[in-house]
Chains A and B, each alone.
Chain A
Amino acid sequence: MQARDIEWHLTQLGQELTDRGVQKPIRVLMIGGAYMLLLAKMQRSTDDIDILWLDEEDAFQRAIDELRKGVQAVAEKQQLEPDWFNDMTHLLMYDVVTIPKGTLWKRFGPLHIYVPPKTYILALKILAGRRKDIEDCRVLLQSVKVKTRPQARRLLNRYVSTAAQATNAEDIEHALEELFPQ
């Protein structure tokens, strides 16, 4: 998906939710590759749109069935993979990272897309630490005030639980070595 495709597919999803009678806002935080394309203006494409839920647990439970049906309907119509709109990261991360409120980016019918600050994405990508995450970090670092390893550590402390940092300590250290030579 290119940047323009993402907005088009989200428009379709918003319409699908409207057609299904969804009225209450579904608020999600866009992260991952879609964020890099649309907010960090990175010139590449992404394989899916990663999101974190912003709604409380009960509101999330009420919305998830309709949302997943809507996602599948758009996948069928637009020839997309079934998980093009992907909440798996939320299941994985919700209790080990802080989820910021974010700022409203765009509304697509009842689907409200929020975005976090770039520093949040930077923290998640340092934690993930794969080759392509390091490349994304380099792009993000051009437009944030984080310039040193201690500043990056403070960022991790702000957003990532101590337990997750401890479990990933070696990988985090390697990512920081790549990004902030000493």
Chain B
Amino acid sequence: MSITFRTLQTMARAYRQICGGEEPWIALGNFRNAWYGYARDRRDALVSEPLAKPAQDTELTQRWSAFCAATVEFLCERYDVPCPQWVHDPRYTLETPWWHSERVDDPKIRERLLQTTPGAFARRKIFCGNRLYQNKYEMSAWVQEARAQGITDPGEVWRYARLKEISIHGG
């Protein structure tokens, strides 16, 4: 469906919302819904606008600006969308690593995050693993694709969809 009844949730808008106090996963979740759902035919418009620097730049806003830039690079690469230049600005590389785990002291967890984090994030010193933008839009499409191919065993249908997911997202 390509219609929308509300303002397009661009990455620039998502970042403005994060800086304004919105829960980051909600702002980014709404961006994800636009990317995979109602605005998937306008992906370049979702990422072209650079992030606006907030009035008060804090560690939190710096971290999430880097995360937003990494997201754009990651998604553009995977879905063959021209990547905007703004994502390569050095200010979107963190000075100190940002580990997405409450158990960062556990060497096993660190090792896994190092191994699985996609390059666009790791280059910016964000270590978040590879389960970031998995989504029900693609998964349900792949499930239907499997069924259309005559796969009937539920476990095999699920496996087909997961392999597709892994091929795109890495996990």
Contacts and interface: CB of A to CB of B under 8 A. Distances in A.
Contacts, number: 105
B109 A47 contact: no
B154 A167 contact: no
Contacts of B79: none
Interface in A69-124: 75-76, 79-83, 86, 88-89, 91-92, 95-96
A50 B112 CA distance: 30
11 contacts: A47-B30, A75-B5, A80-B6, A81-B33, A88-B137, A88-B140, A91-B140, A91-B143, A131-B128, A178-B102, A178-B109
B38 A82 contact: yes
Nearest to B134: A130
B27 to A, nearest CB: 9
Given A82-B38, A163-B155, A164-B155, A48 B33 contact: yes
A167 B4 contact: no
Interface in A145-182: 161-164, 166-168, 170-171, 174, 177-178, 181
Given A45-B22, A80-B5, A88-B140, 12 more contacts: A44-B26, A47-B30, A79-B6, A81-B33, A83-B33, A95-B154, A128-B134, A132-B29, A163-B154, A163-B159, A178-B103, A178-B109
A23 B143 CA distance: 32
A18 interface: no
A96 B158 contact: yes
A97 to B, nearest CB: 10
Nearest to A92: B140
A91 B37 contact: no
A177 B100 CA distance: 14
Contacts of B1: 82-83
Contact of A92 (B103, B109, B139, B171): B139
Interface in B92-134: 100-103, 106, 108-109, 112, 128-129, 131-132, 134
A162 B154 CA distance: 11
A44 to B, nearest CB: 5
B23 interface: yes
A11 interface: no
B154 A89 contact: no
A130 to B, nearest CB: 5
A39 B149 CA distance: 39
Contacts of A14: none
A15 interface: no
A167 B158 contact: yes
B136 interface: yes
B23 A45 contact: yes
Contacts of A130: 131-132, 134
B23 A47 contact: no
B157 interface: yes
Which of A45, A48, A86, A92 counts the most B-chain CB atoms under 10 A from its CB?
A92
Contacts of A95: 154, 157-158
Given A161-B154, A163-B154, A82 B5 contact: yes
Given A83-B37, A161-B154, A177-B108, A171 B137 contact: no
A154 B155 CA distance: 19
